[in-house]
Chain A
Amino acid sequence: MNNIVSLRDITVEFDDEKILDSIDLDIKDKEFITLLGPSGCGKTTTLRIIGGFLTPNSGKVIFDGKEITNVPPYKRNVNTVFQRYALFPHLNVFDNIAFGLRVQKLPEKEIIRRVGEMLELVNLMGYEKRSVNKLSGGQQQRVAIARALVNRPRLLLLDEPLGALDLKLRKEMQIELKRIQKSMEITFVFVTHDQEEALTMSDTVVVMKGGHIQQIGSPIDIYNEPVNSFVADFIGESNIVSGAMIRDREVEILGRRFECVDGGFGANEHVDVVIRPEDIKVSAPSEAKLTGIVESTIFKGVHYEMIVDACDGKWKIQSTKAVEPGQEIGMRFDPEDLHIMKKMEEHRR
């Protein structure tokens, strides 16, 4: 697949503070890519650079092989769904969606046809004459999506579009957005701080922090093979402990040696080891290398979540069987459940 957008060495500074620090990113045509990170990580800034609302201090934006770093937004074949929708309060649903087509001065007949298609796509038939101020949050969201897509952009930018919706509606819109992206065959660049949302919807996830890209990969890669403790911690729940590699496929944590499946580190190199709570198996204390005292047990629906005090640290364990607090348990895990990561470089905060 071809790259539709490439960012090359993009740096953005505000008041001497680096918001983006030489970012390189390739976005493939027709993929659903998510920029994921905590607030202030630079994900929205990256989006605004692609949209043309912000010119980077240095670096290049390449769209479909052509450099567009200094091209204003209205000349880019890119549309945006804004965080708080930014619908035009003086126009009704139809006129909001038709806005881009009217600017292009298309014949009214075609406008009516294309707006009709969009209303159908986002399930808002019959709402044409409604004032946008009288719509619910979810309906406003749909108008915002239709208003952007009616222009048939090659690329749709979505800036935390589901942030203002309640959980149930958010789940519905996640599926809806994915369906729209598949049926329209256009590239979606989605910004969110919600890791679950990112894993559910994306083909590719870009994890960002402090103006740097931490990891780019498929949701499965990001979850199973986080490159550092930040990514591991941000994506899903995890127990992260310091350790040292003894040799390939053997790691020492908490004074005990464990078999693992990773290699390629230096001898005695200090590493971070992540163990997902669902990968820890509860056993009798005598059967495990690690034992601990259960501190609390909470019922979470699908499983119980237990906090276990072991080796001077708190461990999070998810298990379908509950253990009474105060009891001693053994904790076991398979070699492939230990994910070894390089220690985070300090300058990456």
Chain B
Amino acid sequence: MKGISSKAAAAPYLIWMAVFIVVPLIMVAYFAFTDESGAFTLDNLANVAQYSNIFIRSIWLAAISTVICLVIAYPLSYMLSGMKAHTQSTMLMIVMLPMWMNFLLRTYAWMAILGNNGLLNTLLGFFGLGPYKLLNTQGAVVLGMVYNYIPFMILPIYSVMVKIDKSVIEAARDLGCNSVNVLFRVILPLSFPGVASGITMVFVPAISTFIISRMLGGGGNLLVGDLIEMQFLGNSYNPNLGAAISFVLMVILLLIMTIMNQFGEDDTENDRVLM
């Protein structure tokens, strides 16, 4: 009885997965390996090679953004986890608040701040500085990524850190650790699973973003996401090439994530035992 009902309960989800996950993946693969007439070809994949500089730029900017997010989010999460429960929820709220605003609006706001006649340059102008070219630079793209994706780094790291048993930290202090030692010998290794999922959750959307790069990077800093969009909506309409680029991007992400998981394998094993 229970078996039947749980199977029935899973059915909608299985259908959902089939329709919205498996079928699109098959379609991407199908378009990637066929030409306009539907015949099998590897030309699309071969053509992706000419965009390798865009791929490298995407990976590079996403990596920089991920590292900056980590550098900011880690100490912040550490501080958060040590605060009083009430303060913690208030602080988390402040972290989450920007996410309630529309993504486009947030990014437009940065355009207004960074532009040649923008807020920052106007402010600097009072001191006789600038105007500097802030908008339409790689720096602006990285800033946009960090700003938009940092909550996805803070939340997983924070949620792992609050779960660290306080008595384990006391034990470390008891065994001769000062604060620095406690951080490097206990908190860092124990929070690694949170760091790993934070990196994944920032890196994946950052590598395939297209709005941020278009709005803050100008035309000169195209990323893979822009490239894909152009194949479907732009002048260079070519869904087969677009599918091929998506396909290659997926393979690259899969490789990077596999390496990440290898790295954190010991910790996940420990976690499983703990549960």
B168 touches A88 (CB 8 A): yes
**Residue A51 at the B interface, CB < 8 A?**
yes
**Residue A82 at the B interface, CB < 8 A?**
yes
Q: What sequence of 0s and 1s flags, for each residue 156-189 of chain B, a beta carbon within 8 Å of any chain A beta carbon?
A: 0000000001011011111111100100011001
A83 touches B174 (CB 8 A): no
Task: State whether A82 and B167 are in contact (beta carbons under 8 Å apart), knowing that A103-B185, A133-B270 are contacts in the complex.
Answer: yes
A104 touches B176 (CB 8 A): yes
**Residue A299 at the B interface, CB < 8 A?**
no
B176 touches A88 (CB 8 A): no
Q: Which of chain B's residues has its CB closest to A103's CB?
A: B176
**Interface band, chain A:** 20 to 34
Residues of A within 8 A of B177 (CB): 74, 103
Q: What sequence of 0s and 1s flags, for each residue 50-75 of chain B, a beta carbon within 8 Å of any chain A beta carbon?
A: 00000000000000000000000000
A142 to B167, CA, bound (A): 17
A100 to B175, CA, bound (A): 5
**Residue B190 at the A interface, CB < 8 A?**
yes
A104 to B175, CA, bound (A): 9
**Residue A65 at the B interface, CB < 8 A?**
no
B176 touches A51 (CB 8 A): no
A87 to B170, CA, bound (A): 11
- 201-226 of chain B: CB within 8 A of chain A: none
A88 to B175, CA, bound (A): 12
A74 touches B267 (CB 8 A): no
Residues of B within 8 A of A103 (CB): 175-177, 181, 185
B176 touches A74 (CB 8 A): yes
A73 to B174, CA, bound (A): 5
B189 touches A90 (CB 8 A): yes
Name the one of B171, B185, B190, B269 contacting A82, with C-beta atoms under 8 angstroms. Answer: B171
B174 touches A80 (CB 8 A): yes
**Residue B274 at the A interface, CB < 8 A?**
yes
**Residue A89 at the B interface, CB < 8 A?**
yes
Name the one of A84, A89, A147 contacting B175, with C-beta atoms under 8 angstroms. Answer: A147
**Chain A residues near B (Cβ < 8 Å):** 51, 53, 72-74, 78-80, 82-84, 86-90, 99-100, 102-104, 131, 133-134, 147-148, 151
Q: Which 9 A-B pairs have the closest CB atoms?
A: A100-B175, A86-B167, A133-B273, A86-B171, A103-B176, A90-B189, A73-B173, A80-B174, A74-B176
